[in-house]
Amino acid sequence: MANTTKAKVVGINGNMVTIEFEGSVSMNEVGYVNVDGKKLRGEVIRIRGNKAQMQIFEMTQGIKAGDKVDLIGDLLCAELGPGLLGQTFDGLQNPLPLVAEKAGFFLERGVYVDSLPRDKKWEWTPTVKPGDKVLRGDPIGSVPEGPFTHKILVPFDLLGMYTVKKVEKAGEYTIEDTICVVTDEKGKDHKLKMAFKWPVKRAVDCYAERLAPSEPMVTQVRLIDTFYPVSKGGTYCIPGPFGAGKTVLQHTTSRNADVDIVIIAACGERAGEVVETIKEFPELKDPRTGRSLMERTIIICNTSSMPVASREASVYTSVTLAEYYRQMGLHVLLLADSTSRWAQALREMSGRLEEIPGEEAFPAYLESYIAAFYERAGIVKLRDGNIGSVTIGGTVSPAGGNFEEPVTQATLKVVGAFHGLSRERSDARKYPAIDPIISWSKYKSVIREDWVAYARKVFLSGVEVNQMMKVVGEEGTTTEDYIEYLKSEFLDAVYMQQNSFDEIDAAVSVERQQYTFAKVLKVLGSDFELADKDSARNFFNQMRQKFIDWNYSLWKSDKFKKAEKDVDAHFASANGKVRDEVSAMLKDGE
């Protein structure tokens, strides 16, 4: 229902305008500033007496004091319904291809397009009948959407118990058609359509129970799944300096992660990288279905060249879409790139509001905003018994790669896994460039914990020897210490690193990771008859190459079996003897 409040512009400061109003105004209410025959969308972010500040989601050039403001009485909302998958939206959920058709090559301001197609007919199948009782978030029917069955839900804003009065029979309908009528406890009828709106800054909580994340979200990246795992419904962050491979790692994850739907929120990333994503995804094959990867992907595109206020909108829009699909019992991965740009937008708006700044001029409430965003992740049990999840992975771009800056530190306080990228590993062309020294995870690995702990101990011991050799030189270390260093380098080269350009090594199944890691652990936990450092170096160099050849062979193929025999033969050539501790661990893991 439209708001009858009258308002006008009385001040402009960048993308923030001050309005004076007569009547009532709500926080986060949407309004339109009339300028040069266009309506520019904005959101109320502060109210003081009969004046309010609005952040405008467009360029504010041309706005002047006295311009009329239309307040619509609704909050900033996302439209939820069939037709979202495969779309590329801006931060306000405008489909960018349609905006381009309407506005031309350069996107004009004030152009808004329906988020979902109004004329497309969907094959509706009801799942309720007259007399059934339903609550908000309950499914009343379904339509096919790409590879999924898209459940049509009772709108989230309908509180209380409802009785189904009428349901349309199976057939083709648009999202504008009434497909069900329900009656509330007071006897009032409500017409339900396939699509409805929900405020993006309000979390969806229509589930029966919130569960603790326990099941791994397999990414098929060995270093992540084994050493720094992520759980379905969990959270993780990827901070790193510019050019360290954050975006590449996210793209690899989106292709191979064990989830149903991927939502990519480019909330302030550079336009070139977003264009690459939009071009690549329709051409990529989904390894699970063999169809286009775009069929189960949604891209929210709000680049660094777009208005800063839209960065905030894009973050909340994307997580609302993720929660919507979770309510259908699907597993969703939300990749936000990069949350630093969102934080910079908050800092800019906080400065214009003349709020007391916190560290590095970021707003004092930065931590609570970041926490509120990541808290919307989670794995939930729905009322029909199905399980759905939203996993959030956010990249952070700290200036100069400084992980002590406020955005990184605020993020680390709330996430369950930290994949810190290092400039040193990136420059050494190591992929992924996740630094094993500083990264951590609170989630359960796909590999036995005692195996992982032993391998990590060997790796860190080798790193210490390497640091010592930088001071005293190779000749200043014992052969035993040098072998420890070579084992650490071996683990890094054959297991922690991965070739994203190799068709086989780019994505490694859990079964293969477990099988390979057992073999790696055997090498790490063995004593070899190696006379000196030269023979040790030659042995491990050859072992490393044989393992890499093994990694590049198709799982359980003849080539795979032959490469494995070469690895075993080379292990035996140095009379490798597995230590009792490791032998017991390997036996327990069989």
Per the listing, tokens 């080539």 go with: 559
Least confident of 95-104, 142-151, 216-225, 235-244: 95-104
Relative orientation angle of helices 558-573 and 510-524, to the nearest 10 degrees = 10
For residues 46-66, average pLDDT = 93
- pTM comes to 0.94
For residues 464-485, average pLDDT = 93
Residue 429 maps to a domain: yes
513 and 562 assigned to the same domain: yes
Residues 6+ apart with CB under 8 A from 160: 135, 184, 185
pLDDT number for residue 1:
44
Q: What share of the chain is helix, strand, coil (3-state, %, to 5)?
A: 35, 25, 40
| End-to-end Cα spacing for the chain | 65
529 and 429 assigned to the same domain: no
pLDDT number for residue 286:
78
Q: Which two tokens stand for residue 290?
A: 């063999």
Least confident of 13-17, 145-149, 224-228, 274-278: 274-278
Which secondary-structure segment (H or E) carries 515?
A: helix 510-524
Question: Biggest alpha carbon distance in the chain?
Answer: 89
Domain boundary among 419, 441, 463: 441
Output the domain CATH number for residue 70. Answer: 2.40.10.170
Residue 330 maps to a domain: yes
pLDDT number for residue 590:
67
Domain boundary among 441, 474, 509: 441
66 and 89 assigned to the same domain: no
Residues 6+ apart with CB under 8 A from 348: 14, 308
Query: Over 90: is that where the pLDDT of 589 sits?
Result: no
380 and 484 assigned to the same domain: no
- Whether the CA torsion 368, 317, 308, 407 is positive or negative: it is positive
Instruction: Give per-residue pLDDT as tens, 349-402.
Output: 999 999 999 999 999 999 999 999 999 999 999 999 999 999 999 999 898 888
24 and 166 assigned to the same domain: no
Closest to 30 (Cα-Cα) out of 199, 221, 185, 177: 199
Least confident of 75-84, 99-108, 119-128, 152-161: 99-108
Q: Which two tokens stand for residue 112?
A: 């808004």
Instruction: Give per-residue pLDDT as tens, 225-274.
Output: 999 999 999 999 999 988 888 888 888 888 899 999 999 998 877 766 77
Residue 162 maps to a domain: yes
478 and 582 assigned to the same domain: yes
233 and 380 assigned to the same domain: yes
Output the domain CATH number for residue 180. Answer: 2.40.50.100
107 and 246 assigned to the same domain: yes
Residue 200 maps to a domain: no
* Residue numbers belonging to the annotated binding site for ATP: 240-247
Q: Are strands 526-527 and 577-578 parallel, antiparallel or unpaired?
A: antiparallel
Helix, strand or coil for residue 24? coil
Residue 409 maps to a domain: yes
Output the domain CATH number for residue 479. Answer: 1.10.1140.10
216 and 330 assigned to the same domain: yes
Instruction: Give per-residue pLDDT as tens, 298-333.
Output: 999 887 667 778 888 999 999 999 999 999 999 999
Name the band, by pLDDT with cuts 50, 70 and 90, for residue 338. confident
107 and 189 assigned to the same domain: no
Instruction: Give per-residue pLDDT as tens, 514-536.
Output: 999 999 999 999 999 998 999 99
Which range marks the domain in which residue 147 is found?
122-194
Residues 6+ apart with CB under 8 A from 99: 90, 107, 111, 113
Domain boundary among 166, 194, 222: 194
454 and 407 assigned to the same domain: no
> How many domains, the chain?
4
Q: Which two tokens stand for residue 174?
A: 């648009």
Output the domain CATH number for residue 354. Answer: 3.40.50.300
The span from the CA of 177 to the CA of 352, in Å, is 44
Which secondary-structure segment (H or E) carries 342?
A: helix 339-352
pLDDT number for residue 425:
93
Per the listing, tokens 């996107």 go with: 107
Residue 427 maps to a domain: yes
Residue 359 maps to a domain: yes
pLDDT number for residue 2:
52
**Angle ∠(508,560,515) on CA atoms, nearest 5:** 50
* Residue numbers belonging to the annotated binding site: 240-247
Q: Which two tokens stand for residue 477?
A: 């270390």
Name the band, by pLDDT with cuts 50, 70 and 90, for residue 43. very high
Mean pLDDT of the chain: 92
Instruction: Give per-residue pLDDT as tens, 551-581.
Output: 999 999 999 999 999 999 999 999 989 999 9
291 and 393 assigned to the same domain: yes
Residue 131 maps to a domain: yes
Helix, strand or coil for residue 573? helix
